[in-house]
A and B are shown apart, each in its own frame.
Chain A
């Protein structure tokens, strides 16, 4: 929600909030991954990155579609194309420009690891059948994303001197955006009270352990946790990058809103 909105009061409002938070993470991440199409380091990775991007945008689309049904909006596109920066609820890490392959992989790994634990616990918690069905379907794909990115962290970390330097610097640069993964606000607390979300701090240690073990196996240093951490993107306080991303993503649809584009 933007800084102007209030905390969801009803169960349905909470559900919509959760659907949009998950959806926005996935749409924005998928958008950045889709920028690789045709520019990947090898053909196999063009395929793999496009695959993950497709999964992400597909997940977002089904989450949005359910939210649209609940809110009486026309369809999933409403949320992707007709909201502004301050309405988007994705974490900031995912909107950062793609930089290089190491940066994309590090980001993919940190986010997939987070998604893995989040979805695992959500599946055990969420009672809403339609939502839970989506979570189970998406979880299968998240496992693959985690494996794919983890393998690349190992390859790049324990590969050449240059690859090690690049992936280490990617983790260092991304670290200040990891704090936000475990920020818990009142919106989340409201959703938890309706069994629609889980306490993210409950799996923070597991996440950290997986990240640490992977980085150590990749002969990389785990960045210092005792540093400035970015926060607030879920509440609409984004980086400057999101506006440009949305300008690109939304321009055609917004230029001709009355046209049929599906």
Chain B
């Protein structure tokens, strides 16, 4: 059990703005919360490869094909170093992966929506990566060193992805009538799910207070969401895209944009597994994992034999 003295000293370090490193003492609960959050982040990167991967073979120019492929590759990279960062807390990648494939671990619900047209790829870059950046910019200041550093690196790449998505969306919004139609339709479909990415209202977010106390997070879900909306309203306007919320209105008093009610029923339903693509996403990931089993086994067996041979040779 963690003693009160240990907890107090730990809290003091946090309050002084110190960074916690893998070998430092930390409360069990802090470790658990971080493993949950970080692995969830890693799973999201991996599942996130699917909706975008859906358009690699159909991307409308070689340039866009390479941009998309590189983006999906970056996501695999993010997943990889987030898993590595999580392993510094004593977790094992295989167990973490199996926990979302066959257990209860979650990943971001945004990836349970389908990518129907190429405009979805642009909107994912703009809105979804835009929301992720808001979140990860905060997490780059997280009290846990390896997680903070992973987020710093991820943010740099995500900013690039967001720029690419926004640029192409701007072109579509300024393009042929068919392109404009696709662009607006995609924004209409992705807007509300993107707002849900920041998680439930602070009043319904059981983990928030604790994570803020430990400086894993430094802002609440609602603060981050508001920051995002304020930015997106301007960016949408700049490219002639409208956001599908009749209640969006600038509030002179607060200096922020007020927005309509988020469809929370839909959010909770998707979180629980009942979204348009949950089952398919899981099937695809399980299939990749199970189809890959013999490859991983072969690599291990080969390494074992090689080591044995080298041992004999010396």
Contacts and interface: CB of A to CB of B under 8 A. Distances in A.
A76 B62 contact: yes
A65 B62 CA distance: 11
Interface stretch (B173-181, B186-194, B210-218, B238-246): B173-181
A45 interface: yes
Contact of A34 (B46, B60, B69, B179): B69
Interface stretch (B31-39, B72-80, B129-137, B266-274): B72-80
B307 interface: no
Interface residues of A, number: 50
A77 B57 contact: no
Instruction: Label chain B's interface by main secondary structure.
Output: helix
Contact of A47 (B60, B61, B76, B176): B76
Contact of B63 (A51, A61, A248, A259): A61
A157 B17 CA distance: 53
Given A80-B62, A155-B302, A46 B295 contact: no
Interface in B58-87: 58-66, 69-70, 72-73, 76-77, 79-80, 83
Contacts, number: 142
Interface in A17-75: 27, 31, 34-35, 37-47, 50-51, 53-54, 57-58, 60-61, 64
B1 interface: no
B298 interface: yes
A9 interface: no
A80 B65 CA distance: 11
Contact of A160 (B62, B80, B294): B294
B49 A38 contact: yes
A189 interface: no
Contact of A61 (B57, B59, B62, B284): B62
Contacts of B293: 41
A76 B69 CA distance: 18
A128 interface: no
In the A-B complex, the 6 residue pairs with the closest CB atoms: A41-B292, A159-B298, A163-B298, A38-B49, A41-B295, A261-B60
